[in-house]
């Protein structure tokens, strides 16, 4: 019986499908382990070696990892929500209520998406604090710190653009207030200092796609929330993780 | 062996404590998933549907049992009918029992609404459940019979969040302030009638007394003079023209009137005088007074020639039925001003000119132009001056020493003109040379107004919703804004509440045309053309009668089919000497002193043009048998309890003695056959008479006449009274 099984396994690992996916043998030698990491896309973002201090929870609190995990949760729940949501004035609020009251586990889906978003903002900020307190922003990691700051901004923008999508009173007025701030931008805002632009072509107008919050704004925010910002975040995250490895893994204790 | 080594390795790095954490978090997550599934399955509305189903089956089973117990005792037709009912009820019971428990929703594309209210209120259409408590209750009243729930849904009337299936989320309780995620909560009971006004655009809305009253208040108060109000965009100004006012009233009266109209008319509520009290300073009042008094008419100043005889005037006053419209010491009609104390308000010379040339002073007044001779006017004025003498008014002391009063006339007039325009006098009054649009905020789409931006001023401890804000505007606008321009109207709290309901019926929604309920042809009634139009305008028939769809309801008798209803000879006589058809009414046809040519024109016009083809043309000759049968029908149906016939009878209906002289046979027939069709407001019972009976009754009534055939011919001319 065991022999049969062994023969089967031998046959499987010799098939072309197996060999084209796993290009080296079992990772039981130093060389094969290194090759495994180098040849796998996801693994190669990860450091080849992890030092014991990096495994200590109290050093990193796994904040970056949790952020990444929450981003995955957001992606999965977000894609599922997109099946039910139409970004139009007519349907947005209605679809939201459908999700709440008519779709099985719809409310759970929405809540998960919402709380994971809140959690992500929190963990990303805490992650930044951790990096700051452990001095991990210092050379050679200064570049990755900057990428991280952009990622923080992206996280906040994802949160902000997602806020309008329920299209209820809370969303409407929160985004009204939020986008009104753009009017006060110096030079580029219609009400800011040194203003040169009118209400019809200032920053706020481009943000909203109209003078007031309208269907244009909803569509704009939807596209940003579901496509533009997540894509940018994925690209930057890849750079961020890869850079961690290139800069010699997680910084050592001081 | 491998496992032990793994644990050992782990112990050296992480410690067993992490296993405990792992186990706890894992267990907690599992529990969370289970709880999630239970919560997902267990919804409030499922319980509601189960309870409703139980109540419904119980009610049906009770009925089935009563029927079953009665069945053995019934026979023949009744038995067959009962069996049929029983079978139907059993079918209904099966239907109720087989109804799956699921989310119910009504989708109305035309209104863009999806209502899931019936998911919990599952028995809303079941009249058996009318006594139950919410949410199991059936809808009270017959509203769902009039408005099919599949066509209207729920939220179009009740508002709220129709897509939600739980109590809070459906906005059963209005949340206010920043936490409110929705704009529209379910309307409280006292505002629900405002929803009727979305589709019912007529002034009178059946079963919505508050809304109807509110619309009446809006119309009477003339809100649309200053505000844009839906349905009243084209309303005419409610106040009189102020041209030539200086020749009409005296200065002391005007000052008192401007500073406090309630002193002259203490009544609260929009009864007769609707002039609001304005928030003006003494200086502004004086300037306004100077501005208005400066407009005089030279012709009025001259005294009329000759002396009046007050006794002849008294006779004319009664004969012309002035009290049909005018008040005398609080009693009389409701169209025109109080006459007692008239001497303290107006000039004698003006009164004379007014009677002679009414429409020159007020082109839009409701008062007809009476055809009085100069002497007759003198008599009436003499009578009014003697009978309705009021106290001599003095200028109140506080106006004597106003600063700036010593200014030259021109600057005062200019100042007054400014006050006139800024205070919004133009909203109600016309004055030649002064034109301006509506000066106050737009009140259309009031119900969908954003409540966050309202200015509440000093008002506290009040629910901050738009209805209350409007209420405060009417009650005491100064509390909301120190320098409020909104004047204070003589309006009771009930009238305010009704007006708010009517104003809130405008949510800015355009209802689809198939939902709009309104009488046909409400759009506009152009002025009547030609000679007929001139006469109707001169005698202001439309102040009391409806003529071609437009006019007042002082008389409950529209003139549109007058030619088919009454006989020419009678009408001729009636114009000469109108009398009251119903002695219990205080409003009576006014004696207009029409001249013969006009009367003849009207009689001919009525009989040729103002006819209704649905009223048959019946020859006025009947045989004796029909008349006798008609008389017995008249007695049998107890007509005499409302109508006077001969010497006795009731006072509710019109007297029918000599009715054959007045009404055409065709009209009598048509009316008793179908009274509600011709006069929906009539209380005449519909006896469901057969054609034969109706004809017989017509024959009898047509035969009730005083004038014999031969003198009817001789009375064709006018009756002259001396």
B678: confidence class by pLDDT, cuts 50, 70, 90: confident
Residue B713 pLDDT? 38
Q: Which residue of B has its CA nearest to A111?
A: B36
Establish if A203 belongs to a structural domain.
yes
Task: Indicate the range of A55-64, A208-217, B546-555 predicted with least confidence.
Answer: B546-555
Confidence of residue B218 (pLDDT cuts 50, 70, 90): very high
* pLDDT > 70 in chain A, percent: 99
Tell me the pLDDT of chain B averaged across its residues.
83
Supply the range of the domain harboring residue B133. Answer: 44-186
- What number is the average pLDDT over the span A99-124? 95
Residue A56: closest C-alpha in chain B = B14
The yes-or-no verdict on residue B720 having pLDDT over 50 is no
Distance from CA of A65 to the nearest CA of B (A): 17
pLDDT value of position B179: 65
Judgement on whether residues B613 and B595 belong to the same structural domain of the protein: yes
Amino acid B5: pLDDT = 46
Confidence grade of residue B3 (pLDDT, cut at 50, 70, 90): very low
Residue B358 belongs to some domain of the structure? yes
Same domain, B611 and B716: yes
Q: Does B183 touch chain A (CB under 8 A)?
A: yes
Are B302 and B178 within one domain? no
Give the angle subtended at the CA of B608 by the CAs of B537 and B528, to the nearest 5°.
Answer: 25
The encoded tokens of residue B455 equal 């200015």
Q: Give the pLDDT confidence of B536-565 residue by residue, as tens digits.
A: 888 888 888 888 878 887 888 888 888 888
CATH number, domain of B398, equals 1.10.760.10
Query: Which residues of A are less than 8 Å from B13 in CB distance?
Result: 52, 55
> Between chains, do A102 and B180 touch, taking CB under 8 Å as contact?
no
With respect to residue A45, please indicate whether it lies within any of the assigned structural domains: no
Number of CB atoms found within 10 A of residue B111's CB: 17
Residues A17 and A97 in one domain: no
Same domain, B370 and B345: yes
Indicate if the pLDDT at residue B71 is higher than 70. yes
Choose between B529 and B104: higher pLDDT. Answer: B104
Where is B485: in which H helix or E strand? none
Q: Per the CB < 8 Å rule, is B163 touching A101? A: yes
pLDDT band at B348 (very low <50, low <70, confident <90, very high): confident
B178 and B73: one domain?
A: yes
Whether B716 has a pLDDT exceeding 70, the answer reads no
- pLDDT at residue B399 tops 80: no
pLDDT at residue B599 greater than cutoff 70: yes
Identify whether B528 is part of a domain: no
List pLDDT tens digits, range A64-89. 999 999 999 999 999 999 999 999 99
pLDDT class for B402, splitting at 50, 70, 90? low
The number of angstroms, rounded, from the C-alpha of A225 to the middle of its chain's C-alpha atoms is: 11
Distance of residue A177 Cα from the nearest chain B Cα, in angstroms = 13
Q: Are residues B401 and B285 in the same domain?
A: yes
Beta strands in B62-190 (DSSP E): 106-108, 113-115
Domain assignment present for B80:
yes
Same domain (yes/no): B17, B90: no
Dump pLDDT digits (tens) for A13-24. 889 999 888 888
Q: Which residue has the tokens 């410690």?
A: B15
User: Average pLDDT in the A152-163 region?
Assistant: 96
- The answer on B568 and B676 residing in a single domain is yes
Helix (H, G, I), strand (E, B) or coil at B284: helix
Q: Which two tokens stand for residue B267?
A: 């009544």
Q: What is the mean pLDDT of residues B570-589?
A: 78
pLDDT at B511 (0 to 100): 86
- Closest-CA distance, A176 to chain B, in angstroms, reads 13
Q: Is B255 exposed, middle or buried (0-12, 13-18, 19+ CB in 10 A)?
A: buried
Q: Per-residue pLDDT tens for A218-246? A: 999 999 999 999 999 999 999 999 898 88
Domain that holds residue A11: 1-39
Q: Does residue A114 belong to the interface with chain B, where contact is any CB pair within 8 Å?
A: no
Task: Verify that A229 and A148 share a domain, yes or no.
Answer: yes
- Smallest CA–CA distance, residue B36 to chain A, in Å, is 8
User: Is A97's CB within 8 Å of B163's CB?
Assistant: yes
* Interchain CB distance below 8 Å, B166 and A52: no
pLDDT tens digits, one per residue of B454-504: 888 888 888 778 888 889 888 888 888 887 888 888 888 999 999 999 999
User: Phi then psi for A26, rounded to 5 degrees?
Assistant: -55, 145
On average, the pLDDT of chain A sits at: 91
Number of structural domains (chain A) is 2
Residue B371 domain flag: yes
Residue A253 located in a structural domain: no
Residue A252 maps to a domain: no
For range B436-453, the mean pLDDT: 84
- Of B713, B595, B582, the closest CA to residue B659 belongs to B582
Largest Cα–Cα distance in chain B? 138
**Contact residues, B window 145-174, toward A, CB-based 8 Å cutoff:** 161, 163-166, 169
A117 and A192 belong to one structural domain = yes
Lowest pLDDT segment from B271-280, B676-685, B709-718: B709-718
pLDDT band (50, 70, 90) for residue A6: very high
Tell me whether residues B164 and A102 touch, CB distance under 8 A: no
In a domain, A209, yes or no: yes
The reported pLDDT for the residue numbered A23 is: 82
Q: Do B103 and A105 touch (CB under 8 A)?
A: no
Contact with chain B for residue A168, Cβ under 8 A: yes
Residues A72 and A116 in one domain: yes
Query: Under the phi-then-psi rule, with left for phi > 0, alpha for psi from -120 to 50, and beta for the rest, what region is B635?
Result: alpha
Q: Is residue A254 part of a domain?
A: no
| ipTM of the shown complex | 0.76
Could you please report the per-residue DSSP string of B611-624?
--TTS----S---H
A18 shares a domain with A67: no
Confirm whether A21 is domain-assigned: yes
pLDDT higher than threshold 80 for residue B116: yes
For residues A212 and A161, state if they share a domain: yes
Mark whether A65 and A125 lie in a shared domain.
yes
Q: How many structural domains does chain B have?
A: 4
Q: What is the DSSP string of chain A?
A: -HHHHHHHHHHHHHSHHHHHH--S--TTSHHHHHHHHHH-HHHHHS-SS--HHHH-HHHHTTHHHHHHHHHHHHHHHHHHHHTT---STTTHHHHHHHHHHTSTTHHHHHHHHHHHHHHHHHHHHHHHHHHHHTTTTSTTSHHHHHHHHHHHHHHHHHHHHHHHTT-SHHHHHHHHHHHHHHHTSTTTSSSSTT--S-TTSSHHHHHHTSSSS-HHHHHHHHHIIIIIHHHHHHHHHHHHHHHHHHTTSSPPP-
Q: Does A98 touch chain B (CB under 8 A)?
A: yes
Q: What confidence score (pLDDT) does residue B354 get?
A: 87
Residues 6+ apart with CB under 8 A from A203: A182, A183, A185, A188, A189, A197
Is residue A20 less than 8 Å (CB to CB) from chain B?
no
Residue A129 has pLDDT above 90, yes or no: yes
Tell whether the model's pLDDT for residue A185 goes beyond 70.
yes
- Partners of residue A94 in chain B, C-beta under 8 Å: 114, 163
A22 & A62 share domain? no
> Is B210 within the bounds of a domain?
no
Mean pLDDT of B619-642: 85
Cβ of residue A111 closer than 8 Å to a chain B Cβ: no
**Quick one: which of B626, B621, B656, B642 has its CA closest to B687?**
B642
Is B220 a member of any domain? no
Q: Are B163 and A98 within 8 A, CB to CB?
A: yes
Give yes or no for a cis peptide into B135 (omega within 30° of 0). yes
Secondary element (H or E) of residue B644: strand B644-645
Residues contacting residue B484 through CB under 8 Å, at least 6 positions apart? B279, B473, B477, B478
A58 and A31 within one domain = no
Rounded CA separation B402/B395 (Å): 12
Q: Are residues A7 and A101 in the same domain?
A: no
Residue B702 has pLDDT above 90, yes or no: no
Examine the domain organization and report whether B634 and B603 are in the same domain. yes
Q: For position B718, what pLDDT does the model report?
A: 39
**Can you tell me the distance from the alpha carbon of B116 to that of B160, in angstroms, rounded to the nearest whole number?**
11
CB contact under 8 A, A170 and B181: yes
pLDDT of residue B683: 83
Long-range CB contact pairs, B321-324, < 8 A, 24+: B321/B578, B321/B588, B321/B589, B321/B590, B321/B591, B322/B590, B323/B586, B324/B554, B324/B586, B324/B587, B324/B588, B324/B589, B324/B590
Q: What is the DSSP string of B224-272?
A: GGTS--TT-TTPPPSSPP-TTHHHHB-HHHHHHHHH-HHHH----SSSS
A34 and A103 co-located in one domain: no
What is the mean predicted confidence (pLDDT) over B122-131? 88
Is pLDDT at B229 greater than 50 in this prediction?
yes
- pLDDT of the residue at B14: 54
Confidence of residue B304 (pLDDT cuts 50, 70, 90): low
Neighbouring-strand partners of residue B249? B346
- Averaged over B700-710, what is the pLDDT? 71
Task: List the single residue in B with minimal CA-CA distance to A171.
Answer: B181
Is the pLDDT at B710 greater than 70? The verdict is no
Q: Is the pLDDT of residue B7 over 60?
A: no
Q: Say if residue B680 is in the same domain as residue B620.
A: yes
Give the mean pLDDT of B211-227: 91
Query: pLDDT, tens digit, for every residue of B504-515?
Result: 998 888 888 888
Note the pLDDT tens digit of each residue in B232-271. 888 888 888 888 888 888 888 888 888 888 877 777 777 7
A104 and A13 inside one domain: no
Structural domain includes residue B440? no
Last residue of a domain, one of B186, B215, B236: B186
Interface test with A, best of B181, B184, B449 (most A CBs within 10 A): B181
Q: Mean pLDDT across the stretch B578-597?
A: 78
Q: List, as one string, the DSSP characters of B163-185.
A: T--STTTTTSS---STT---S-P
pLDDT one-digit tens code per residue, B308-326: 888 888 888 888 888 888 8
Report the range out of B34-48, B330-344, B627-641, B644-658 with the highest average pLDDT.
B34-48
CA–CA distance, A43 with B343 (Å, rounded to integer): 106
Q: Which residue has the higher pLDDT, B517 or A6?
A: A6
Residue A211 maps to which CATH number?
A: 1.20.810.10
Which residue from B minimizes the CA distance to A100?
A: B164
A63 assigned to some structural domain: yes
Chain B partners within 8 Å of A170 (Cβ): 179-181
Which percentage of chain B shows pLDDT scores above 70? Answer: 91
Distance from A142 to chain B by nearest Cα, in Å? 31
The residue-averaged pLDDT of B333-357 equals: 84
pLDDT band at A123 (very low <50, low <70, confident <90, very high): very high
Position B598 in a domain: yes
Residues B709 and B571 in one domain: yes
Higher-scoring residue by pLDDT: B225, B398: B225
Mutation target to probe the A interface, by most A beta carbons within 10 A, among B163, B168, B180 is: B163
């Amino acid at each position: 019986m065991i022999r049969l099984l062994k023969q089967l396994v031998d046959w499987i690992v010799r098939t072309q499908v197996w060999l084209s996916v796993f290009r080296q043998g079992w990772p039981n030698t130093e060389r094969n382990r290194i090759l495994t990491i180098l040849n796998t896309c996801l693994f190669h973002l990860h450091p080849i070696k992890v030092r014991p201090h990096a495994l200590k929870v109290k050093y990193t609190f796994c904040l970056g990892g949790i952020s990444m995990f929450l981003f995955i949760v957001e992606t999965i729940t977000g894609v599922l929500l997109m099946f039910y949501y139409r970004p139009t004035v007519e349907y947005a609020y209605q679809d939201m209520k459908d999700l709440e009251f008519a779709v099985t586990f719809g409310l759970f889906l929405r809540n998960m998406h919402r709380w994971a978003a809140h959690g992500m903002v929190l963990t990303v900020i805490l992650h930044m604090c951790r990096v700051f307190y452990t001095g991990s922003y210092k050379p050679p990691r200064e570049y990755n710190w900057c990428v991280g700051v952009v990622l923080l901004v992206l996280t906040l923008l994802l949160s902000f653009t997602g806020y309008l999508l329920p299209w209820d009173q809370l969303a409407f007025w929160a985004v009204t207030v939020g986008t009104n701030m753009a009017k006060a931008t110096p030079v580029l805002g219609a009400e800011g200092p040194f203003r040169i632009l009118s209400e019809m072509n200032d920053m706020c107008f481009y943000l909203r796609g109209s003078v007031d919050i309208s269907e244009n704004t909803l569509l704009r925010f939807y596209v940003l929330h579901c496509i533009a910002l997540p894509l940018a975040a994925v690209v930057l995250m890849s750079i961020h993780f890869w850079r961690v490895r290139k800069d010699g893994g997680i910084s050592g204790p001081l | 062996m491998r496992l032990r080594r793994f644990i050992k390795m782990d112990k050296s790095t992480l410690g067993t404590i992490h296993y405990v954490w792992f186990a706890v978090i894992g267990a907690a997550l599992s529990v969370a998933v289970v709880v999630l599934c239970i919560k997902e399955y267990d919804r409030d509305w499922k319980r509601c549907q189960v309870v409703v189903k139980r109540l419904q089956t119980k009610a049906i089973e009770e009925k089935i049992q009563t029927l079953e117990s009665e069945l053995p005792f019934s026979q023949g037709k009744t038995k067959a009918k009962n069996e049929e009912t029983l079978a139907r009820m059993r079918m209904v019971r099966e239907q109720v029992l087989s109804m799956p428990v699921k989310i119910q929703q009504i989708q109305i594309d035309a209104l863009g609404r999806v209502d899931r209210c019936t998911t919990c209120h599952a028995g809303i259409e079941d009249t058996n459940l009318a006594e139950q408590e919410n949410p199991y209750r059936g809808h009270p009243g017959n509203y769902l019979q009039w408005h099919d729930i599949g066509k209207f849904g729920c939220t179009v009337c009740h508002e709220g969040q129709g897509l939600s299936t739980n109590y809070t989320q459906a906005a059963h309780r209005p949340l206010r302030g920043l936490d409110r995620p929705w704009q529209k909560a379910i309307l409280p009971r006292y505002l629900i009638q405002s929803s009727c006004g979305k589709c019912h655009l007529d002034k009178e809305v059946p079963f919505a007394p508050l809304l109807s009253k509110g619309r009446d208040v809006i119309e009477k108060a003339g809100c649309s003079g200053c505000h844009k109000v839906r349905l009243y965009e084209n309303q005419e100004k409610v106040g009189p023209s102020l041209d030539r006012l200086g020749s009409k009233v005296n200065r002391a009266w005007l000052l008192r009137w401007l500073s406090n109209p309630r002193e002259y008319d203490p009544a609260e509520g929009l009864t007769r005088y609707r002039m609001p009290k304005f928030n003006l300073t003494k200086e502004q009042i004086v300037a306004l007074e100077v501005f208005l008094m400066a407009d005089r008419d030279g012709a009025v100043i001259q005294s009329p020639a000759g002396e009046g005889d007050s006794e002849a005037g008294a006779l004319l006053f009664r004969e012309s039925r002035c009290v049909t419209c005018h008040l005398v010491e609080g009693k009389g009609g409701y169209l025109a001003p109080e006459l007692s104390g008239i001497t303290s308000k107006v000039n004698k010379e003006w009164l004379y000119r007014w009677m002679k040339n009414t429409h020159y002073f007020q082109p839009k007044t409701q008062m007809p132009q009476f055809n009085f001779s100069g002497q007759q006017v003198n008599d009436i004025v003499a009578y009014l001056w003697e009978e309705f003498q009021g106290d001599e008014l003095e200028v109140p002391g506080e106006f004597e020493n106003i600063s700036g009063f010593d200014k030259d006339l021109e600057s005062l007039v200019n100042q007054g003109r400014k006050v006139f325009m800024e205070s919004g006098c133009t909203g109600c009054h016309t004055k030649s040379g002064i034109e301006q649009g509506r000066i106050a905020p737009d009140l259309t789409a009031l119900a969908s107004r954003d409540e966050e931006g309202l200015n509440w001023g000093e008002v506290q401890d009040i629910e901050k919703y738009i209805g209350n804000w409007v209420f405060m505007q009417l009650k005491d606008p100064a509390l909301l804004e120190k320098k409020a321009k909104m004047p204070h109207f003589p309006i009771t709290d009930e009238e305010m509440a009704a007006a708010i309901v009517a104003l809130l019926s405008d949510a800015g929604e355009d209802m689809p045309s198939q939902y709009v309920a309104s009488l046909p042809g409400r759009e506009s009634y152009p002025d009547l053309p030609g000679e007929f139009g001139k006469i109707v305008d001169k005698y202001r028939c439309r102040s009391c009668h409806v003529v071609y769809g437009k006019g007042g309801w002082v008389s409950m008798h529209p003139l549109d089919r007058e030619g088919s209803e009454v006989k020419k000879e009678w009408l001729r006589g009636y114009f000469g000497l109108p009398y009251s058809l119903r002695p219990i009414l205080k409003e009576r046809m006014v004696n207009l002193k029409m001249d013969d040519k006009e009367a003849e024109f009207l009689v001919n016009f009525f009989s040729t043009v103002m006819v209704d083809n649905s009223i048959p043309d019946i020859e006025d000759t009947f045989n004796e048998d029909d008349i006798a049968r008609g008389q017995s029908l008249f007695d049998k149906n107890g007509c005499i309890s409302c109508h006077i016939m001969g010497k006795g009878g009731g006072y509710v209906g019109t007297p029918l003695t000599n009715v054959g002289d007045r009404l055409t046979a065709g009209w009598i027939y048509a009316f008793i056959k179908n009274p509600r069709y011709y006069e929906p407001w009539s209380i005449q019972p519909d006896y469901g008479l057969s054609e034969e009976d109706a004809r017989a009754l017509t024959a009898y009534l047509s035969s009730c006449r005083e004038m014999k055939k031969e003198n009817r011919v001789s009375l064709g001319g006018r009756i002259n009274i001396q």
